[in-house]
Amino acid sequence: MKYKLITAILFGLIFTTSTFGQQSTREVLTLEKNWRFHNGDVANGSSKSLNDSKWEKVTVPHDWAIKGPFDKEIDIQNVAIVQNGEEVATKKTGRTGALPYIGIGWYRNEFSIPNFNSDKKVILLFEGAMSEPEVFINGKKIGSWNYGYSYFYFDITPHILGTSENTLAVKLTNRELSSRWYPGAGLYRNVRLIVKNNESINQWGTFITTPLITSELAKVNIKTKVSGEQLTLVSRIKDASGKTVAIDSTAAIYGNEFEQNIAVNNPNLWSPETPYLYTSVSRLYAGNILKDETSTKFGIRKIKYEANKGFSLNDSIIKFKGVCLHHDLGPIGTAVNKAALRRQLTILKDMGTNAIRSSHNMPSLEQLELCDEMGFMFLAESFDEWAKPKVENGYHRYFETDAEKDIVNLVQATRNHPSIVMWSSGNEVPDQWGSEGAKRAKWLQDIFHREDPTRPVTVGMDQVEATMASGFGAVLDIPGLNYRVHLYDEAYKAFPQGLILGSETASTVSSRGIYKFPVVAAKMKEYDDFQSSSYDLEACSWSNIPDEDFVLQDDKPWVIGEFVWTGFDYLGEPTPYDTKWPSRSSYFGINDLAGLPKDRYYLYRSRWNIKEKTLHMLPHWNWEGREGEVTPVFVYTSYNSAELFVNGKSMGIQKKNNSSPTNRYRLMWMDVKYEPGTIKVVAFDDEGKAVAEQVTNTAGKPYKLVLEADKTQLDADGKDLSFVTVSVVDKNGIPCPTATNQLQFNVKGDGVFRAACNGDATSLEMFHLPTMKLFSGKLVVLVQSVSKAGEIELKVTGKGLQTAKIKITTKN
């Protein structure tokens, strides 16, 4: 009865007081439109009186370099990549994508705050600015930051011109030799203004943990840092339907922090299978006046890392089936876009992926929100360099002065995301050698622990023997091994933690739809066309094929999972062709730069997607000129055996076996000779019953285009995207896997053409122009909505091909 009485009083307090201060609570304005941009330095770029009317009008997020053109002279790096085992420096073309990101850029915008007065506080928040941003308000510099991947904010209250119009100017400086991949350029993540009362909840001031969980009860701990005196905090927890399930009020403050422990009965637990989210609504009162209100989504979940057992989520042992992702979004560059991120995660979800590693930088907030919502565990990484350099103008220039504040901002901005289950303080840092590196690892780890005691910290280590000798690896909460499969057992014995994480694995290289003969395993294999074979047997000098990691994951309980390099191809690092031109993007991706699955996608899916069956056959069957020559057929499948037929003749039954890693995870017919017609694979269940089949036919000449959109209804918000896959078929509707026709794209109606991409790492066609060649018979066109509901029509044409059209609707 006492509990019910207190609850009633609290509900009454909220009901009667919430109307007093409605005008006084915070406002958040996202500065998206009305930006002007100038590529190049401007002597008086910060001046309020500057005439910027002739500057380019852009929308933020914005990447100034993605429109190109590609040029091998951009950021040529004469370097020996130590982490790749190189001893002699060579000229690397395309290492950072061969796009014009280097230089100075200015952004300007105006804003006003109609209700501004002395009781207000104004925060200017940047979620990412590439790079070295200098920020000016009304011509006065109010602050700067160095790290282009960091979130940061300034209190700009003293610089606001009352209710008048204010000028915001941002200068960005991107240096050559500052990155190992395409970093992008500009205000590539959101910029926001937060207007609130002086008495308010601090920026990133809420920290929610769930220290006790049973099936009947969860203890939710909420720490809230505030500004002001004689305040009361009321916290209400809502379930996913918006129903209030718990409430608490406190006036007890310790320094500037409230702490509440709130019981949630019969909690729904967050996991990749059931990504259930609660919302905490915090209301701050001075007397009976509502001063501030914030909402924080969180999940109730339990994580544990145990020696010799592994990682458990909600008391169930699971392994990380993860991929590494760089931050670029292929043809739209680094400008963050939630629709593009959602598409990536949807593709990965179907593959069976349950975890993401942000490589090698702080993730976008949008990516974390989607991982919370869609069910992906997350390894949030901070740095690619510490005190010792990899590139001349890398993060090492700021490490001593900035590392702590960058980590603080990373953790405080993101620690309420249930998807994050581990932090990473670095990747393949040269500091792995010697005692100084071990001390830096400990220092960084302690900062993470101070800001968030609930999650462990790892580092992606590639110099495993050095870290065993120096003590570096022993310092870490979780030893992360990048590749080095031959050292897993030795590292497990040497390190005291009793477990190993494959923090970066495989680095297998392939080009979608490209197959090379003879079919043999190879390292650093190069071909005249600068492509890699999609038989998935080629890797780099330091790396390996997927099957070798599968063995470790399946046979070693103390190996807690892997993060494959990479989920998608990305701009830059075109290994093994980083000294060749043209080659400007990676070959590592399980999916290509356009987001189209390579064959390797189905190899991972056959192991990771345990809910749905996989049956995939390669290569294609269009090999004019190879008649009678050996053309092996591989099958990636979740079934253990299958039979192959060529034009109706059986090539025999293959069964998975443990004779080698590839025989354990693939079905391979190595002696098949090519003859035009039909190949068919029939898969058997464990009882020997035929349960699935796949057929591939030899195609005729390209005849007509086929369009398939990932979605045909968009939000009319000027940001939503439809990814339309364009393919070509012959007169019988059979896909033409070798077609390279030049296509043209026309968008009309209530939408615009945004970009196109064919996944070819050697293509120098610019993404933003409405024409591109097919690559291996396919490409992808991006159609973007405008701020008006209606209908969009995409028409695709090509010489000698039957035109195709698709309609997409938009709604408010």
Instruction: Give the domain 615-697 fold.
Output: Immunoglobulin-like (2.60.40)
Percent of the chain residues topping a pLDDT of 90: 95
Q: What is the pLDDT of residue 3?
A: 29
State both tokens at 522. 């190879």
Collapsing DSSP states into helix, strand and coil, what is residue 662?
helix
Do the Cβ atoms of 275 and 299 come closer than 8 Å? yes
Q: What is the pLDDT of residue 24?
A: 61
How far is residue 513's CA from residue 530's CA, in Å, rounded to a whole number?
A: 14
How far is residue 212's CA from residue 235's CA, in Å, rounded to a whole number?
A: 18
How far is residue 164's CA from residue 218's CA, in Å, rounded to a whole number?
A: 49
How far is residue 202's CA from residue 448's CA, in Å, rounded to a whole number?
A: 20
How far is residue 6's CA from residue 148's CA, in Å, rounded to a whole number?
A: 48
Collapsing DSSP states into helix, strand and coil, what is residue 493?
helix
Does residue 796 carry a pLDDT above 60?
Answer: yes
Q: What is the pLDDT of residue 87?
A: 81
How far is CA 350 from its chain centroid?
A: 16
Instruction: Give the domain 704-811 fold.
Output: Immunoglobulin-like (2.60.40)
Does residue 314 carry a pLDDT above 90?
Answer: yes
- pLDDT tens digit sequence for 148-165: 999 999 999 999 998 899
- Catalytic annotation present for 428: yes
Q: Spell out the residues 6+ positions from residue 1 whose beta carbon is closer than 8 angstroms to its own.
A: none
H or E stretch covering 490: helix 488-494
Worst-scoring range by mean pLDDT, 5-9, 217-221, 526-530?
5-9
How far is residue 141's CA from residue 135's CA, in Å, rounded to a whole number?
A: 6
Sorting pLDDT into bands at 50, 70 and 90, what band is 9? very low
Does residue 23 carry a pLDDT above 70?
Answer: no
Do the Cβ atoms of 773 and 740 come closer than 8 Å? yes
- pLDDT tens digit sequence for 761-773: 999 999 999 999 9
How far is residue 730's CA from residue 629's CA, in Å, rounded to a whole number?
A: 25
H or E stretch covering 297: strand 289-298
Mean pLDDT rounded to a whole number for the chain: 95
Catalytic entry in 132, 428, 573, 643:
428
Q: Which CATH number fits domain 311-507+542-570: 3.30.70.141, 3.40.50.1000, 3.20.20.80, 3.40.50.360?
A: 3.20.20.80
Catalytic entry in 32, 366, 385, 504:
504
Nearest CA to 418 out of 315, 278, 222, 309 is that of: 278
Beta partners for 726? Answer: 707, 779
State both tokens at 3. 């509990």
- pLDDT tens digit sequence for 424-468: 999 999 999 999 999 999 999 999 999 999 999 999 999 999 999
Backbone angles phi, psi at 258, to 5 degrees: -90, 150
* Mean pLDDT along residues 574-602: 97
Nearest CA to 298 out of 282, 315, 320, 316 is that of: 282
Sorting pLDDT into bands at 50, 70 and 90, what band is 388? very high
- pLDDT tens digit sequence for 27-47: 999 999 999 999 999 999 999
Does residue 18 carry a pLDDT above 80?
Answer: no
Does residue 4 carry a pLDDT above 70?
Answer: no
Q: Spell out the residues 6+ positions from residue 304 whose beta carbon is closer than 8 angstroms to its own.
A: 311, 312, 315
Do the Cβ atoms of 335 and 329 come closer than 8 Å? yes
The alpha-carbon radius of gyration of the chain (Å, integer) is 28
- The highest-level CATH class for domain 27-197 is mainly beta
Burial 65-104 (b: 16+ CB within 10 A, else e): bbebebbbebbbbebebebbeeeeeeebbbbbbbbbbbbb
Beta partners for 500? Answer: 559
Backbone angles phi, psi at 277, to 5 degrees: -120, 135
Collapsing DSSP states into helix, strand and coil, what is residue 411?
helix
- How many residues can be counted in the chain? 812
| Amino acid symbol at 546 | P
Sorting pLDDT into bands at 50, 70 and 90, what band is 80? confident
Q: How does strand 257-265 pair with strand 278-286?
A: unpaired
Q: Spell out the residues 6+ positions from residue 73 whose beta carbon is closer than 8 angstroms to its own.
A: none
H or E stretch covering 478: strand 478-482
Does residue 613 carry a pLDDT above 80?
Answer: yes
Q: What is the pLDDT of residue 163?
A: 87
Q: Which residue has the tokens 């995939």?
A: 616
| Residue 63: HSE in the Cβ half-sphere, 13 Å Cα cutoff | 25
Do the Cβ atoms of 497 and 479 come closer than 8 Å? yes
How far is residue 423's CA from residue 478's CA, in Å, rounded to a whole number?
A: 10
* Mean pLDDT along residues 495-517: 98
How far is residue 182's CA from residue 74's CA, in Å, rounded to a whole number?
A: 11
CATH number assigned to the domain covering 2-25+199-298: 2.60.40.10
Reduced 3-state DSSP string for 702-726: CCEEEEEECCCEEECCCCCEEEEEE
* Angle formed by the axes of helices 338-351 and 365-374, nearest 10°: 40
Does residue 409 carry a pLDDT above 70?
Answer: yes
Beta partners for 481? Answer: 461
351 torsion bin: left (phi>0), alpha (psi -120 to 50), beta (else): alpha
Percent of the chain residues topping a pLDDT of 70: 97
Does residue 5 carry a pLDDT above 50?
Answer: no
Q: Which residue has the tokens 């209710």?
A: 163
Worst-scoring range by mean pLDDT, 21-35, 128-142, 262-276, 703-717?
21-35
* Mean pLDDT along residues 616-641: 98
Q: Is 605 exposed, middle or buried (0-12, 13-18, 19+ CB in 10 A)?
A: buried
- Catalytic annotation present for 504: yes
Burial 553-583 (b: 16+ CB within 10 A, else e): beeeebbbbbbbbbbbbbbbbbbbbbeebbb
Q: What is the DSSP string of 308-330?
A: TTEEEETTEE--EEEEEE-S--G
Q: What is the DSSP string of 568-633?
A: B--BS--TT-TTSSS--B-S--SB-TTSPBPHHHHHHHHHH--SS--EEEES-S--TT-TTSB--E
CATH 2.60.40.10 in the chain, residues? 2-25+199-298, 615-697, 704-811
Reduced 3-state DSSP string for 74-121: CCCEEECCHHHCCCCCEEECCCCCCCCCCEEEEEEEEECCCCCCCCEE
Q: Spell out the residues 6+ positions from residue 97 whose beta carbon is closer than 8 angstroms to its own.
A: 70, 181, 182, 571, 572, 584, 585
Q: What is the pLDDT of residue 115?
A: 86
Instruction: Give first-to-last CA distance, the chain, whole Å.
Output: 47
Q: Which residue has the tokens 């933690």?
A: 497
* Mean pLDDT along residues 683-709: 97
CATH 2.60.120.260 in the chain, residues? 27-197
